[in-house]
Amino acid sequence: MTETNNNKEQASTHKIGIYLWIWGLLFVLSFFSYMVDWYQFQGILRWSLILFFMFLKAGLIMAFFMHLFWERYALVNVLLWPMTAIACFIFLMVAEFEYLLFSRLFYFVVGG
């Protein structure tokens, strides 16, 4: 139990300020993404703003609230690389729904 004092000092590494900052930023970013809907932005502007605020919020939560910023790369990379599989899946399914929508509209017009 002699080690506990050393561990205690090492473990409490982060000041409370960093969490309050991230917390505040998340509030501000959520407010902005709500404003995207409030002002009824449309088209590319709307989608890019939604994605921008979404990834920023997700990144802040993962990096600081979930401590990934301070973790060793062995853990961080195990967690983040599988996301590329999800990205691939998204691209595949985008191609799929474009084709499905096209064929539906085509056969609704032309008939079976």
Partner 1 sequence: MSDPNIQGYELKPGFRGMAKDTGSDQTMFKGVHWGKAMMWIFLLSDTFVFSCFLISYMKGRGSTPEEWPNPSEVFALDAFGVPVPLLLIAIMTFVLITSSGTMAIAVKYGYEKNRKMCGWLVLATAIGGLTFVGMQAFEWSKLIHEGVRPWENPFGAPQFGSFFFMITGFHGTHVSIGVIFLFIYAYKVFAGHYDTGKRGWFTSMKGDYVEIEILGLYWHFVDLVWVFIFAFFYLW
CB of 24 to partner 1, least distance (A): 9
Distance separating alpha carbons of residues 14 and 18, to the nearest angstrom: 7
Of the residues 82, 84, 110, 112, which one makes contact with partner 1 according to CB under 8 A: 82
Location of structure tokens 């002002």: 39
Tell me: does residue 107 bind partner 1 (CB under 8 A): no
Q: Which of 83, 84, 110, 111 binds partner 1 (CB under 8 A)?
A: 83
Residues 6+ apart with CB under 8 A from 60: 22, 25, 26, 29
Of positions 42, 43, 44, 74, contacts partner 1 by CB under 8 A: 74
The pair of structure tokens assigned to 101 is: 């929508």
72 touches partner 1 (CB under 8 A): yes
